[in-house]
Amino acid sequence: MGYILRAIDETETIKISAAITTDVVEEARKIHNLSKTTSAALGRVLTATAIIGSWQKNEKDSITLSINGNGPAGPIITTCKNDGFVKGYVARPGADLPTRESDGKIDVAGAVGQGTLTVTMDVGMKKPYTGTVNLTSGEIAEDLAVYFLQSDQVPSAVGLGVLVDVDYSIKAAGGFIVQLMPDCREEEIAKLEENLKKLKNVTSVIDEYHDAEKLIEILMEGMNYKVLEKRDIEYKCNCSREKVEDAIVSVGPKEIREILEEDKKAEVNCYFCNSVYNFDEEDLERMLKKAEDINKNREIIIQDNF
């Protein structure tokens, strides 16, 4: 289990969220059998999603990040609700690249490629809010900073890191998001920029201390702040046989009949946790009847409205 700390400076114009997600990313690695490169890529996106998810106000609010790049890893999808449960997947989990010769780091940008970052926030309105920006670097952190500035008009600093051990297990993972409010003073901005320059490698700090508040201390050196909240986060999928049945019913009677005629069975895999749900002919017949009943009720409602 990981955790997130949310803090604010004494002038309440600098908001900081820092997370330790080592266990979260390790769970994702084991579930999806990730390579070192996709562990770093998915791990960064999971960390960012968990942090943004902790900002949601209502229990059912959710945030989804979609990285649609043309690199070998393929699309990356992550989602988190206000309950602290985060999940995600990468389309090609086995994709791997050599470390970069320039700096010896995992080549996340190469795995992601060029494309877009989409953030979808569902806060219980009729339609979720969706914002999309082009990927600036493919390293995730910089791309998110661009998103916050372009879509929310909020200047932000984002740091995300995943350290993969020699046995491919996750040795350290986490990150931070710092956001400036409109009334932030120039001297505070200058101090923050100075502190950010000192924090050259967020992964090294996480590996050394495994402490989210240490990240905040470094970022806020020379400024007073207070921690507002600590929140646990966990990699957990909420799929179930019942939810999968509902999804099959929702495709409608025609499609279910086709499955019965062609295969007489159905197998559904969950992308987020790799759970497999099998349905036999009897299950499909039951779901077909349910779908037909829903259609009949819908027709009655439409007739009554006329």
Q: Please report the pLDDT score of residue 257 as a whole number.
A: 93
Q: Please report the pLDDT score of residue 127 as a whole number.
A: 85
Model confidence band, residue 125 (pLDDT cutoffs 50, 70, 90):
confident
pLDDT at 104 over 70: yes
Q: Please report the pLDDT score of residue 58 as a whole number.
A: 82
285 contact partners, CB below 8 Å, separation of at least 6:
260
Q: In this structure, are residues 142 and 112 in contact, taking their beta carbons and an 8 Å threshold?
A: no
Q: Please report the pLDDT score of residue 306 as a whole number.
A: 45
pLDDT in tens, 196-205: 988 878 999 9
Query: Tokens 């700090």 correspond to what residue?
Result: 205
Mean per-residue pLDDT over the chain, rounded: 93
Q: Please report the pLDDT score of residue 9 as a whole number.
A: 94
Alpha-carbon distance of 229 to 7, in angstroms, equals 7
Model confidence band, residue 300 (pLDDT cutoffs 50, 70, 90):
low
Model confidence band, residue 4 (pLDDT cutoffs 50, 70, 90):
very high
pLDDT at 217 over 80: yes
pLDDT at 128 over 90: no
Q: Give the least confident one: 23-37, 48-62, 128-142, 207-221.
A: 48-62
230 contact partners, CB below 8 Å, separation of at least 6:
3, 4, 5, 6
**CATH dotted code for 241-304:** 3.90.1280.10
Share of the chain above pLDDT 70, in %: 97
Q: Please report the pLDDT score of residue 305 as a whole number.
A: 45
Domain ranges across the chain: 3-235, 241-304
CATH 3.55.30.10 fits 3-235, yes or no: yes
Q: Is 207 left (phi over 0), alpha (psi -120 to 50) or beta?
A: alpha
Alpha-carbon distance of 51 to 5, in angstroms, equals 9
Q: What is the DSSP letter of 45?
A: H
> Apex CA 265: angle with CA 264 and CA 269, to 5°?
155
Q: Please report the pLDDT score of residue 102 as a whole number.
A: 86
Q: Please report the pLDDT score of residue 298 as a whole number.
A: 62
Model confidence band, residue 61 (pLDDT cutoffs 50, 70, 90):
confident
> Residue 289: which H helix or E strand, with range?
helix 281-305
Mean pLDDT of 82-108: 93
Choose among 142, 144, 148, 119: nearest CA to 132.
119
Q: In this structure, are residues 242 and 48 in contact, taking their beta carbons and an 8 Å threshold?
A: no
